[in-house]
């Protein structure tokens, strides 16, 4: 079996006294798609944010694509080039146009020529179905459109791994589908390793290879989606599923 692209070994993290991640072990294969769910405050965001070092873990090891995350800035920047992230609140740059948002990383980080970066950006804008918005500012777009721009912005960096942190939970209900469609399309193209924190169970069933349930800083249970939903083992998982599936 090929080496995992992401490896978390005995990862622990505290906020002050508060133990937010407890002995997390996780191994993600190349091209694997994982959905992470769990109650609010269970440490889902913290865990995936540790993978691109938006948060620092204090114990254990995190190895991404063969490079261990340490305080070494060069390593961190190298890993961030490989790892795209989509946030709940989009985090687009409001002072730049959509096109400029998409080309900023490729031009400054990947040192691509402007014309090439713009061509790539337009390609991805078409993939997320909003090429006509290229010259607009993020503030002029709907939430769903902004999130699709954010996905395109990450894809423009040609990452090996994509992290999604509740990408649809800040959206009005009628916009959730347009964003999920883009994510499903991305999954179906294959090849991309995806870690997605979401409570969209339809999405999990459609594309995930594995569903992980977190509670109180621990990975409580993980399984294939069919098994996970049909046969939850742990009491906490059952309780959680009964709450979100009504």
Partner 1 sequence: MSSVSESLPPPTTATGPVAWVRDKLFSSPLNTVLTLLSVWLLLMTLPPLVEWGLINAHFTAATSAECRASPGACWAFIGQKYRFILFGIYPYDEQWRPLLAAIILTSLIVVSCMRRFWKPRLVGIWAVGLTLVGILMWGGVFGLTYVENTNWGGLPLTLILATFGVAFAFPLGVLLALGRRSRMPAIKTICVVYIELIRGVPLISLLFMSSVMLPLFLPEGFTIDKLLRAQIAIIMFAAAYIAEVVRGGLQAIPKGQYEGADSLGLSYWQKMGLVILPQALKIVIPPMVSLFIAVFKDTSLVVIIGIFDLMNATKTSLVDPAWRGFSIEAYLFISAIYFVFCYSMSKYSQQLEKQLATGHKR
List contacts with Mg ion (CB under 5 A): 45
Task: Pick what 43 binds: ligand ADP, Mg ion, partner 1, none; C-beta below 5 to 8 Å, kind-dependent.
Answer: ligand ADP
What is the footprint of partner 1 within residues 100-119 (CB under 8 A)?
Answer: 104-105, 108-109
Q: Does 135 bind partner 1 (CB under 8 A)?
A: no
144 touches partner 1 by CB under 8 A: no
Task: Please choose, out of 34-42, 88-96, 202-210, 222-230, the segment that lies near ligand ADP by the rule CB under 6 A.
Answer: 34-42
- Please pick, from the candidates 15, 56, 94, 224, the single residue that binds partner 1 as defined by CB under 8 A: 94
Nearer to ligand ADP, 99 or 196 (CB): 196
Q: How many CA atoms lie within 13 A of 225 on its CB side?
A: 15
Residue 137 contacts partner 1 per CB under 8 A: yes
Q: Is 17 in the site for ligand ADP (CB under 6 A)?
A: no
Evaluate whether 213 touches 228 at the Cβ level (below 8 Å).
yes
Which residue number has the CB closest to Mg ion? 45
Report the 3 state secondary structure along 26-88. Answer: EEECCCCEEEEECCCCCCHHHHHHHHCCCCCCCEEEEEECCEECCCCHHHHHHHHHHEEEECC
Please compute Rg for the chain using Cα positions.
18
Q: 237, 216 in Cβ contact below 8 A?
A: no
Between residues 87 and 240, which has the closer beta carbon with respect to partner 1? 87
Nearer to ligand ADP, 84 or 217 (CB): 217
- Total of chain residues touching ligand ADP, rule CB under 6 A: 11
Residue in 44, 53, 148, 153 binding ligand ADP, rule: CB under 6 A: 44
CB 221 within 8 A of CB 234: yes
* Rounded CA separation 176/53 (Å): 28
Instruction: Name the strands in the sheet holding 161-165, side by side, starting at the edge strand that comes first in the sequence.
Output: 83-86, 161-165, 193-197, 33-37, 210-215, 218-223
Residue 87: contacted member of partner 1, Mg ion, ligand ADP, none (CB under 5 to 8 Å, by partner type): partner 1
Structure tokens at 17: 């006294």
Look at residues 110, 98, 107, 171 and name the one whose alpha carbon lies nearest to residue 138. 98
- In the complex, what is the shortest distance from the CB of residue 184 to partner 1, in angstroms, rounded to a whole number? 22
* Site stretch for partner 1 (CB under 8 A), options 25-33, 123-131, 135-143, 238-246: 135-143
Contact residues toward ligand ADP (CB under 6 A) are: 15, 18, 20, 38, 40-46
């Amino acid at each position: 079996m090929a080496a995992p692209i992401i490896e978390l070994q005995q990862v622990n993290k505290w906020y002050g006294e508060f133990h937010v991640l407890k002995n997390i072990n996780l191994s993600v294969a190349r091209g694997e798609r994982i959905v992470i769910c769990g109650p609010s405050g269970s440490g889902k965001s913290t865990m995936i944010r540790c993978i691109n070092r938006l948060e620092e873990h204090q114990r254990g090891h995190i190895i991404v694509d063969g490079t261990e995350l340490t305080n070494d800035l060069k390593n961190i920047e190298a890993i961030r080039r490989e790892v795209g992230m989509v946030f709940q609140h989009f985090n687009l740059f409001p002072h730049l146009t959509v096109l400029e948002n998409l080309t900023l990383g490729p031009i400054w980080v990947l040192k691509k020529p402007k014309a090439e970066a713009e061509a790539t950006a337009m390609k991805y804008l078409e993939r997320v179905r909003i090429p006509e918005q290229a010259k607009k500012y993020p503030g002029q777009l709907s939430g769903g459109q902004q999130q699709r721009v954010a996905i395109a912005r990450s894809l423009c960096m040609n990452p090996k791994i994509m992290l999604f942190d509740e990408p649809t939970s800040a959206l009005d209900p009628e916009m959730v589908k347009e964003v999920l469609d883009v994510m499903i399309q991305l999954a179906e193209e294959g090849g991309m390793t995806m870690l997605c924190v979401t409570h969209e169970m339809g999405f999990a069933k459609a594309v995930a290879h594995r569903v992980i349930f977190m509670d109180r800083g621990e990975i409580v249970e993980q399984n294939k989606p069919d098994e996970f939903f049909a046969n939850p083992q742990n009491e906490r998982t059952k309780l959680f599923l009964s709450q979100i599936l009504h």
